[in-house]
Amino acid sequence: MSHRDGMTKTSSGFFVSQEAPIRTDDPVQTPTSPAPDILRCAYMDLVVTDLAASRQFYVDILGLHVTEEDDDVIYLRSTEEFIHHNLVLRKGPVAAVAAFSYRVRTPEDLDRAVAFYSEIGCRVERRPEGFTKGIGDSVRVEDPLGFPYEFFHQSEHVERLSWRYDLQIPGELVRLDHFNQVTPDVPRAVRHYQDLGFRVTEDIQDEDGTVYAAWMRRKPTVHDTAATGGDGPRMHHVAFATHEKHNILAICDKLGALRRSDAIERGPGRHGVSNAFYLYLRDPDGHRVEIYTQDYYTGDPDNPVITWDVHDNQRRDFWGNPVVPSWYTEASLVLDLDGNPQPVRTREHRSEMAVTIGADGFSYTREGDDEAMPSWKQGEYKLGNQL
Ligand SMILES: [Fe+2]
């Protein structure tokens, strides 16, 4: 049986099928306790080593709005947000992620989160007063994949600034869109997050069924989080949305004018996966931030799952522009509940970089073409060519 049985090839070059054409032979135990009802990714708790440098990057350059701040912590939000914050910058000794935080539908969902994770032996900590300012009763866990996950319902409301055009800049960040997590075993991660209630919207596989990455959603967009295959647990990026493509170009222009073009790691471009327009930046600690806009609605129960071939050079950039190696290899540490970095495990499955830009890698623009891509387009699969 082929791994592509049940998938239909589309005229766009990718495959579609129904829910999750992903199987794992090493599953995390499925809890019998029901999962908490997650609404959406809500905020990231990020440790930075130089708070002033981070403030300049996220506030002065990217224009996130300060809800509150003191000498050690800055609470930031995007334009459309009405909960207290979407990003916490916390001064600390090691640049890392302290929590991937999700909002749940009801206060009772926090009891469900405690039961769900306790049943499978995860470390769980609940604080009725919350872990961060402006957020009430919260549950933090070290999830079975090693990620620090947080769940909360209650949040202080703040003013939604959508109508305050006087405060907005050409590159305005309007919403928190998603997280992206690096994990060694993508099918194991997907199965676990499905148990937690996530739906797969897109993935990248090869013809043998190796899964390189998967995108998963609660809110009806392409994702709230994604699992990217690599050494982990690590944080690949946190993504904010702009309204339109031109807002992303304005961020590039601003970085250029400020002589900060070295903050641009990859893009701007059009993703194949998600169909969104994108830009990847690196903050002063190297944390990766994506600016993202215009993916598509995914809320129907029979939303088709899209599978991209790992060798399709339009999967990660629809214009076929090369992915820089750092984007595949570098990511941020994540912390345990004591604030210590989680140990990083090596990915044993095939690596996307090796099969596409390593010595043996290959990619195609038109499947079935016998001719190699022109030398000036080979950055995707011959490492030296893009230098
Ligand atoms: Fe992303």
**Mean per-residue pLDDT, 254-260:** 98
Task: Calculate how far, in angstroms, residue 278's C-alpha sits from the geometric centre of ligand 1.
Answer: 8
**Cα 45 to ligand 1 centre (Å):** 17
Helix (H, G, I), strand (E, B) or coil at 38: strand
Alpha carbon of 41 to ligand 1 centroid (Å):
13
Q: Does the structure show a pLDDT above 80 at 16?
A: yes
pLDDT tens figures, 151-162: 999 999 999 999
The Å distance, Cα 316 to ligand 1 centre, comes to 10
The pLDDT of residue 383 is 55
Determine the distance separating the centroid of ligand 1 and the alpha carbon of 116, expressed in angstroms. Answer: 27
Are the beta carbons of 143 and 334 closer than 8 angstroms? no
In the 8-state DSSP scheme, what is residue 359?
A: T
Ligand 1: centre distance to CA 121 (Å) = 30
3-class SS of residue 366: coil
Query: What is the CA(228)–ligand 1 centre distance, in A?
Result: 10
Q: Give distance in angstroms: CA of 136 to centre of ligand 1.
A: 28
Do 185 and 349 touch, CB atoms closer than 8 A?
A: yes
CA–centroid distance, 179 to ligand 1, in Å, is 7
CA distance readout (Å), 64 to 3, 61, 177, 247:
44, 8, 14, 14
- Expressed in angstroms and rounded, the spacing between residue 246 Cα and the centre of ligand 1 is 18
Query: How far apart, in whole angstroms, are the C-alpha atoms of residue 248 and residue 230?
Result: 28
Instruction: Decide: helix, strand or coil at residue 96.
Output: strand
Asked if pLDDT for residue 377 goes beyond 80, the answer is no
Answer yes or no: is pLDDT of 198 > 60. Answer: yes
- 267 Cα–ligand 1 center, Å: 12
pLDDT digits (tens, 9 = 90+) for 117-133: 999 999 999 999 999 99
Q: Residue 358: is its pLDDT beyond 70?
A: no
Q: For residue 18, report the distance from its CA to the centre of ligand 1, in Å.
A: 22
CA–CA dist 373, 268 (Å, integer):
22
Cα of 296 from ligand 1 centre, angstroms: 14
Distance 108 CA to ligand 1 centre (A): 30
Q: 111 CA distance to ligand 1 centroid (A)? A: 30
Q: Report DSSP state, residue 345.
A: B
Cα 129 to middle of ligand 1, angstroms: 31
How far from 253 is each of 116, 247, 263, 319, CA to CA, in Å? 46, 10, 12, 21
CA of 286 to the centre of ligand 1 (A): 16
Pull the structure tokens for residue 11: 């005229």
Mean pLDDT in residue range 70-88: 98
pLDDT confidence bin for 387, thresholds 50/70/90:
very low
Q: How many angstroms separate the alpha carbon of residue 137 from the centre of ligand 1?
A: 29
pLDDT of residue 203: 97
With cut-offs at 50, 70 and 90, classify the pLDDT of residue 356: confident
Q: Which two tokens stand for residue 269?
A: 């471009």
Question: How far does residue 178's CA lie from ligand 1's centre (Å)?
Answer: 7
Share of residues in the chain with pLDDT > 90 (%): 87
* Average pLDDT over every residue of 34-50: 98
Using CA atoms, how far residue 277 sits from 108, 230, 299, 318, in Å, is: 37, 24, 20, 10
Amino acid identity, residue 94?
Answer: V
Dist. CA 85–CA 78, nearest whole Å: 8
Distance 326 CA to ligand 1 centre (A): 15
Residue 107 CA neighbour count, 13 Å, CB half: 8
DSSP string, 180-247: EEEES-HHHHHHHHHHTT-EEEEEEE-TT--EEEEEEESSSSS-SEEEEESSBSEEEEEEEE-SSHHH
For ligand 1, the distance from its centroid to the CA atom of residue 282, given in whole angstroms, is: 13
Taken in order 111, 344, 268, 309, the sign of the CA dihedral is negative
Give the pLDDT confidence score for residue 319 in this predicted structure. 95
